[in-house]
Amino acid sequence: MTVLDRPDVAVEPAGGTAGALPGVPKKNRTDLYLAGGLTALCLVLLAWNITGFPMASDDEGTYLAQAWAVAHGKGLAHYTYWYDHPPLAWIQLAGLSWLPALVFPTLLSVAGGRLAMLPVEAVTLLLVYVICKRLGMRRWAAALGLLTFGLSPLALTMNRQIYLDSFAVMWMLAALTLALSPRRHLWHYAAAGGAAAIAVLSKETMVITLPAVLVAMWQKAARSTTRPWAFGAFASGLALVGIFYPLYALLRGELFPGDGHVSLIGAWQFQLMSRSGSGSVFDEASGSGALIDSWLYYDSVILFGGLAATVVALFVRKLRAPGIAGLVLALVAIRPGGYLPAMYVVQALPFLAILIAGVTEFGFDKLRPARVWWRWTILGVAVVTALGFVVPHWYVGDRRALVANDNAPYQEAADYLRTQLPDRAGTTLVVDDVLWLDAVRAGYTRDNVIWFYKLDLDTAVAARLANGWRDVDYIVSTPALRQDPNSLPTVAKLLTNSTVVASFGPGSGPVEIRRVDKENP
Amino acid sequence: MILVSLVLAGFAAVTLWWTMHAWRTPETLASTRFAAPDGEHKLTFSLLVPARHEQAVLEHTVERLLLSTHAGFEIIIIVGHDDPETAEVAMRVAATSPGRIFVVTDHSEQKNKPRALNAALPYCRGDVVGVFDAEDQVDPELLAHVDHAFRATGADVVQGGVQLINFHSSWYSLHNCLEYFFWFRSRLHLHARKGFIPLGGNTVFVRTETLREANGWDGTCLAEDCDLGVRLSSRGKRVAVAYDSAVVTREETPGSVTALLKQRTRWNQGFLQVYRKGEWRKLPGFGQRLLARYTLTGPFLQAFSGIVIPIGIAIAIWARLPVGVALLTFVPVMPMVANLVFQVVGLRDFGEQFDLRIRWHHYARLIIGAFPYALVLAVAALRAVWREYTGKRNWELTAHVGAHLTKPAVAESGVTA
């Protein structure tokens, strides 16, 4: 029975459960110390040699340059913002990346910018732990989830890089955490909706994991009197935060497609209809196949283990929410003819780690080894086999992440650009996006530092070069720039009509500073 | 513009937060219900039913009150000396149940509800005084619940729920019903908990000695119910609010938009009077005083924001403000729209609780009618301010003095919401 409201008597929740709920450490701080300690350990591994491995990618440079544009009040991107992605992730990045740039001015900007990802990953790691606890897992299982996510070489590689997906998945995990709130507070659900909206506005593809949050809420609010209100709150939070993106476009007059301007709906049409697929994941030769291979190269354990766990989790009530996230992510990845982005796996990794931990605990419970000795034996054999397989595998992968120095050529090229070329303010330079920000920071005029894609794809940039490719003084040739010469004729022309003045790195994939030979016919 | 937006957003968010008080967690919701009565009847009740030109509904109301399952209660009907029709009905009803029903005649010069109640107060013999309006549909189980609530909580005042039911009769009645629903179901509980409560006009029960100590109702105040609540709160009296859809007192919405407007003007003006009277300054806690200040001025802020927010948006879209500023003007819309979402959920819940069939067009009406309703509230708020500062403080608004009025006058004497 219940207590009436009175002015001087606080109404206690029925049963007084608030203090003893999982995920809300009150007196017992074991969870806090355990999760905090393990997170710190994983962060050290992440931070160690973060500048050297993996090799800086063009995408990282692009996001960092966009964050730079936001931080310096130059709009939402360093080129015309065309609604390719919602901007919230690099707006957040802008709030974080100024600090490393200030502290390490001579470091390759992408390498320095990666330090900004550490707080994001710290939060993500903690959220993995909290979600495990709130799903009803025991402490050791939650710790297993955190460690699986933190120590997997694939996660270690991807989480170091500046990807929008890391921001998005952090927010979606926050939404899931709030949806699983033990107090079932109305405003937690509203906040969950808001967090989910921020996740989607950080990276639009994150929306596919939304069903997991809904299922978690549905289960958590089951048999409660406030379920319709909870969903009302969630919907309000989601819609009212999410609406600001189309609203922004609307206020700028860029919501609907039209002549002479970019538009949100036009960009969506392109993303959904026109973007060519990257082939089937089962086709070794396709882009998707190669991408999956590269993920498997770093870590097959978390991928295969996670997928297997997903299948099991769908049949376990308390694991169904992350199970659905895993299922949807897997289905979208293997859909035929779709485009699979290189960083797609970032969205899946925390969910896979949670699933692995949850299913491991589930197996342990089913086995109930406390009863019989032979069950202990099975368990022991399973654990030893798993560790025997995982540990060497992960040791090799993690060790590589801690010692490899893949960014030396880029760093040397950046140093060269900063110190060796004369008349930087008057030089026109074509670079990839990794070096774009370094060049601008080194004193080259922003309009004269051209991201190589834009030469052929942005008419406004082409219009600035009255004499075509002959207006370019230098081109920095990198593996990213050389990747796709056939679709970019001006870049191809610059590469053939230029000579190397400096070259860094191995013969197979060097970074070359090339002077353009304007006299060539 | 930016400042106005942020202030409005803050206001709307706080209002939303409080409106949703009861549904914050399943535990809070459970705590707002009446505890199940234990079947013992320990207290005696004096039920006051002031009636004025309400001969048409009075008999039915009293007959329903007589059905009450509680053992110890008397009914005191209060009629004006200048209202023979109602007096006649009252006498006739009283004759059917001698010793249970009494009639008191109010001889005061200017007639209003607090004066009528004060006229009856000396005759009350019960431990607890309860107030009902002449058109109320009171549940027979209510007194047993209230009896138990007094004993279980040790409160000095018990406020029961009042609910408008005829949500389907006009476009505004839907909103009006939901307003009551949110107020009694949720917001009042927050007030009770914080120790500052503007009481409702009926289904309110006060211990007789407490009421006599407080000198009864304020005969000059347009919102005597709110005033009483504020005075009792500032004396540190304990108020229990309990809501149970099974035993709420059922009422009807005002019969026309004009009646609604006038009713609302009176409440708002009453709130303003209570605010100016300053009794709330005696509240012990700073938070309580802040809540009082906020609640008593609330209708005006609400009316103001209901008008200003849409205008701000119109400006943002058409005046080509900088995008950042324009986006900021949309911030107050968030709690506003969220409020509408919760109203939709509330309508569903309302239908479930009272066994009413809510159709899709009711939801549509709810959403479409939101702005016009806000407009009505805003006009009422402006009228109230205007009347208060031009000194028009008569109780019965012009249209309700005439004896021909039945329904609108009936609804006029509703509760404060």
Give the span between the Cα atoms of B248 and B241, in whole angstroms. Answer: 12
Question: Nearest to residue B258, comparing CAs of B147, B364, B412?
Answer: B412
Give the span between the Cα atoms of A132 and A149, in whole angstroms. Answer: 12
In terms of residue numbers, what domain contains A127?
Answer: 25-403
Residue B52 Cα, gap to closest chain A Cα (Å): 34
Q: What is the DSSP letter of B161?
A: -
Structure tokens at B400: 């309700």
Which value, to the nearest 10 degrees, does the dihedral of the CA atoms of residues B168, A230, B158, B177 take?
-10
Contacts of A7 in chain B (CB under 8 A): 192-195, 233, 238-239
Q: What is the pLDDT of residues A463-501, one digit of tens each?
A: 888 888 889 999 999 988 888 777 888 899 899 999 999
Is pLDDT at A134 greater than 70 in this prediction?
yes
Do residues B341 and B370 make contact, with C-beta atoms less than 8 angstroms apart? no
- Chain A: residue nearest B190 by CA? A5
- Which of A166-175, A334-343, A443-452 is predicted least confidently? A334-343
> A197-222: buried (b, 16+ CB within 10 Å) or exposed (e) per residue?
bbbbbbbbbbbbbbebbbbbbbebbe
Q: Mark which of A403, A418, A438 sits at the end of a domain.
A: A403
User: Does some domain include residue A43?
Assistant: yes
Name all domains of chain B by residue range, CATH numbers in brackets. Answer: 2-19+284-412 (no CATH), 33-252 (3.90.550.10)
Question: Greater confidence, A342 or A238?
Answer: A238
Give the span between the Cα atoms of B417 and B199, in whole angstroms. Answer: 9
- Chain A: residue nearest B187 by CA? A5
Q: What is the pLDDT of residue A521?
A: 64
SS (H, E, C) A259-288: CCECCHHHHHHHHHHHCCCCCCCCCCCCHH
Do residues B135 and B52 make contact, with C-beta atoms less than 8 angstroms apart? no
Please list, in sequence order, all residues whose beta carbon lies within 8 angstroms of the beta carbon of residue B74, skipping any fewer than 6 positions away.
B44, B45, B46, B47, B99, B100, B101, B102, B125, B126
Contacts of B243 in chain A (CB under 8 A): none
Is pLDDT at B181 greater than 70 in this prediction?
yes
Say yes or no for a CB contact (<8 Å) between A229 and B345: yes
Shared domain check, A311 and A394: yes
Torsion angles phi and psi, residue B334, rounded to 5: -55, -55
Contacting B residues, span 66-85, partner chain A, CB-CB under 8 Å: none
Q: What is the pLDDT of residue A352?
A: 97
How many other CB atoms are there within 10 angstroms of residue B74's CB atom?
18
Shared domain check, A425 and A396: no
User: Does some domain include residue A1?
Assistant: no
Any chain A CB within 8 A of the CB of B26?
yes
Whole-number mean pLDDT of chain A? 87
Question: Nearest to residue B143, comparing CAs of B133, B135, B132?
Answer: B132
CA atoms within 13 A on the CB side of A293: 10
- Chain B: residue nearest A184 by CA? B25
Whole-number mean pLDDT of chain B? 85
Residue B238: left if φ>0, alpha if ψ -120 to 50, beta else—which one? beta
Q: Are strands B73-80 and B45-50 parallel, antiparallel or unpaired?
A: parallel
Q: What is the pLDDT of residues B370-381, one digit of tens each?
A: 888 888 888 888
Contacts of A8 in chain B (CB under 8 A): 195, 238
Q: Mark which of A371, A403, A435 sits at the end of a domain.
A: A403
Question: Nearest to residue B47, comparing CAs of B102, B107, B112, B105?
Answer: B102
User: Does some domain include residue A18?
Assistant: no
Shared domain check, A424 and A392: no
Q: What is the pLDDT of residues B228-242, one digit of tens each?
A: 998 998 888 889 887
Residue B195: left if φ>0, alpha if ψ -120 to 50, beta else—which one? left
Most B CBs within 10 Å: which of A5, A183, A234, as the mutation test of the B interface? A5
Q: What single string gives the DSSP state of each residue in B236-304?
A: T--EEE-B-GGGPEEE---SSHHHHHHHHHHHHHHHHHHHHHTGGGG-SSHHHHHHHHHHHHHHHHHHH
Selecting from B29, B242, B326 the residue whose C-beta is nearest the C-beta of A4 gives B242
Contacts of B334 in chain A (CB under 8 A): 236, 240-241
User: Does some domain include residue A332?
Assistant: yes
DSSP H helices, B166-256, are: 171-182, 188-194, 208-213, 224-234
Question: Nearest to residue B362, comparing CAs of B179, B169, B163?
Answer: B169
Give the span between the Cα atoms of B354 and B335, in whole angstroms. Answer: 27
Q: What is the pLDDT of residue A150?
A: 95
Contacts of A237 in chain B (CB under 8 A): 338
Q: What is the DSSP letter of B187?
A: I
Is pLDDT at B121 greater than 80 in this prediction?
yes
Work out the percent of chain A whose per-residue pLDDT is above 70.
92
- Chain A: residue nearest B146 by CA? A4
Do residues B338 and A266 make contact, with C-beta atoms less than 8 angstroms apart? no
Q: What is the pLDDT of residues B300-329, one digit of tens each?
A: 887 777 778 778 778 877 877 788 888 888
Question: Nearest to residue B403, comparing CAs of B103, B76, B90, B56?
Answer: B56
Give the span between the Cα atoms of A505 and B85, in whole angstroms. Answer: 106
Is pLDDT at B208 greater than 90 in this prediction?
yes
Contacts of A4 in chain B (CB under 8 A): 31, 34-35, 149, 152-153, 155, 240-242
Say yes or no for a CB contact (<8 Å) between B24 and A185: yes
Beta strands in B29-86 (DSSP E): 45-50, 73-80
Contacts of A238 in chain B (CB under 8 A): none
The domain tally of chain A equals 2
pLDDT band per the 50, 70, 90 thresholds, residue A392: very high
Contacts of A233 in chain B (CB under 8 A): 338, 342
User: Does some domain include residue A7?
Assistant: no
Contacts of A13 in chain B (CB under 8 A): 25, 27-28
Any chain A CB within 8 A of the CB of B322?
no
Say yes or no for a CB contact (<8 Å) between A251 and B35: no
Say yes or no for a CB contact (<8 Å) between B17 and A229: no
Shared domain check, A326 and A222: yes
- Chain B: residue nearest A254 by CA? B323
Residue A454: alpha-carbon gap to chain centroid: 25
3-class secondary structure, A474: strand
Q: What is the pLDDT of residue B120?
A: 92
Torsion angles phi and psi, residue A215, rounded to 5: -65, -40
Give the span between the Cα atoms of B146 and B204, in whole angstroms. Answer: 10
Do residues A94 and A70 make contact, with C-beta atoms less than 8 angstroms apart? yes
Shared domain check, A396 and A463: no
Shared domain check, A362 and A273: yes
User: Does some domain include residue A2?
Assistant: no
Residue B379 Cα, gap to closest chain A Cα (Å): 28
Any chain A CB within 8 A of the CB of B17?
yes
Shared domain check, A264 and A310: yes
Kind and range of the H or E run holding A381:
helix A373-403
Is pLDDT at A164 greater than 90 in this prediction?
yes
Shared domain check, A269 and A204: yes
Torsion angles phi and psi, residue A501, rounded to 5: -105, -25
Kind and range of the H or E run holding A413:
helix A408-419
Beta strands in B344-391 (DSSP E): none
Do residues A476 and A503 make contact, with C-beta atoms less than 8 angstroms apart? no
Contacts of B36 in chain A (CB under 8 A): 1
Kind and range of the H or E run holding A203:
none
Give the span between the Cα atoms of B303 and B253, in whole angstroms. Answer: 20
Do residues A376 and A369 make contact, with C-beta atoms less than 8 angstroms apart? yes
Residue B104 Cα, gap to closest chain A Cα (Å): 34
- Chain B: residue nearest A18 by CA? B27
Residue B46 Cα, gap to closest chain A Cα (Å): 23
Q: What is the DSSP letter of A12?
A: P
Identity of the highest mean pLDDT range in A4-8, A14-18, A263-267, B400-404: A263-267
Contacts of A225 in chain B (CB under 8 A): 26, 29-30
Say yes or no for a CB contact (<8 Å) between A228 and B152: no
SS (H, E, C) B41-55: CCCCEEEEEECCCCH
Question: Greater confidence, A10 or B44?
Answer: B44
Contacts of B330 in chain A (CB under 8 A): 243-244, 247
Shared domain check, A423 and A481: yes
Identity of the highest mean pLDDT range in A12-16, A285-289, A299-303, B13-17: A299-303
Give the span between the Cα atoms of B188 and B22, in whole angstroms. Answer: 9
Contacts of B240 in chain A (CB under 8 A): 4-6
Do residues A417 and A513 make contact, with C-beta atoms less than 8 angstroms apart? yes
Most A CBs within 10 Å: which of B27, B158, B234, as the mutation test of the A interface? B27
Contacts of B238 in chain A (CB under 8 A): 6-8
- Chain B: residue nearest A1 by CA? B35
Q: What is the pLDDT of residue B406?
A: 39
User: Does some domain include residue A327?
Assistant: yes
Selecting from A7, A225, A243 the residue whose C-beta is nearest the C-beta of B26 gives A225
Any chain A CB within 8 A of the CB of B363?
no
Selecting from B24, B326, B341 the residue whose C-beta is nearest the C-beta of A251 gives B326
3-class secondary structure, A431: strand
DSSP H helices, A243-367, are: 244-251, 264-269, 287-298, 300-313, 320-334, 344-367
What is the ipTM metric for this complex?
0.82
Please list, in sequence order, all residues whose beta carbon lies within 8 angstroms of the beta carbon of residue A357, skipping any fewer than 6 positions away.
A132, A137, A141, A142, A144, A145, A148
Taking CA A400 as the corner, what is the angle to CA A396 and CA A402, rounded to the nearest 5 degrees? 120
Say yes or no for a CB contact (<8 Å) between B30 and A225: yes
Contacting B residues, span 341-360, partner chain A, CB-CB under 8 Å: 341-342, 344-345, 348-349
- Chain B: residue nearest A188 by CA? B24
Say yes or no for a CB contact (<8 Å) between B341 and A232: yes
Do residues B363 and B244 make contact, with C-beta atoms less than 8 angstroms apart? no
pLDDT band per the 50, 70, 90 thresholds, residue A27: low
CA atoms within 13 A on the CB side of A196: 28
Structure tokens at A378: 């099975």
Contacts of A183 in chain B (CB under 8 A): 25
Say yes or no for a CB contact (<8 Å) between A4 and B241: yes
Do residues B62 and B101 make contact, with C-beta atoms less than 8 angstroms apart? yes
Task: Report the length, in residues, of chain B.
Answer: 417
Residue A398: left if φ>0, alpha if ψ -120 to 50, beta else—which one? alpha
Contacts of A1 in chain B (CB under 8 A): 35-36
Any chain A CB within 8 A of the CB of B28?
yes
Shared domain check, A187 and A324: yes
Selecting from A6, A247, A251 the residue whose C-beta is nearest the C-beta of B240 gives A6
- Torsion sign (Cα): B234, B235, B238, B242: negative
Give the span between the Cα atoms of B338 and A239, in whole angstroms. Answer: 9
Do residues A501 and A515 make contact, with C-beta atoms less than 8 angstroms apart? yes
Give the span between the Cα atoms of A236 and A221, in whole angstroms. Answer: 17
Q: What is the pLDDT of residues B48-83, one digit of tens each?
A: 999 988 888 888 899 999 999 988 899 999 999 888
Averaged pLDDT, B2-10: 83
Q: What is the pLDDT of residue A291?
A: 87
Q: What is the pLDDT of residue A19?
A: 39
Shared domain check, A137 and A153: yes
Question: Nearest to residue A449, comparing CAs of A468, A467, A431?
Answer: A431
Q: Mark which of A343, A377, A403 sits at the end of a domain.
A: A403
User: Does some domain include residue A71?
Assistant: yes
Selecting from B192, B317, B342 the residue whose C-beta is nearest the C-beta of A7 gives B192
Say yes or no for a CB contact (<8 Å) between A14 and B27: yes
Q: Which residues pair with B104 in a beta bridge?
A: B78
Q: What is the DSSP letter of B185?
A: I
Shared domain check, A422 and A359: no
Q: How many CB pairs under 8 A join A and B?
A: 115
